[in-house]
Amino acid sequence: MRYLLMLCGSVGDDALDTDITEPCRAWGEEMTRRGLRLNGMGLRPPESATTVRVRGGEALLTDGPFAETKEQIGGINIIECETREQAVEAARTHPWAAIGTIEVRELL
C-alpha cells in the first residue's frame, strides 16, 4: 500500500526555523535505501501559493494558501509499506515529527 506523509507545521513557529533540511535528506536517503520511499519533496512557503477555484465556469484565483490557518503543509513523502503500522513507524522516525506534525494517509 502506498501512503502520503504530509509534513505540517504552524506558520511562525520558531521550531520550524531550525535547519531541518539535512536530517530530512538523511531520512529520505535511508527510507529509499530500505525500499520504502518512492518520492518526496519540500514545498515553498504558503505565501507563494495560488489558489484556484472554478465557480460557474469562471476561474477565481487567489494569492496565498487555500485555508486561513496557522498550520500549513511544508512537504510530502510517498512511501510504500506492507501495513499502516509500518507507515506510521516511518513517520515516527522522520525528523519533522520532532518539530511539527506528520499526517499519514493511504493513497487510493
Q: How far is CA 65 from CA 4, 6, 42, 51, 52, in A?
A: 20, 16, 16, 6, 10
Stretch 14-31: mean pLDDT: 84
pTM, entire model? 0.85
Taking residues 3-32, what's their average pLDDT?
85
* pLDDT tens digits for range 54-106: 999 999 999 977 666 677 888 999 999 999 999 999 999 999 999 999 999 99
* Identity of the residue numbered 7: L
CB atoms within 10 A of CB 103: 12
- Domain boundaries along the sequence of the chain: 2-43+70-106
Cα distance between residue 80 and residue 14, in whole Å: 32
Cell digits for 28?
A: 529520505
Identify the architecture of domain 2-43+70-106 in CATH: 2-Layer Sandwich (3.30)
pLDDT at 35: 97
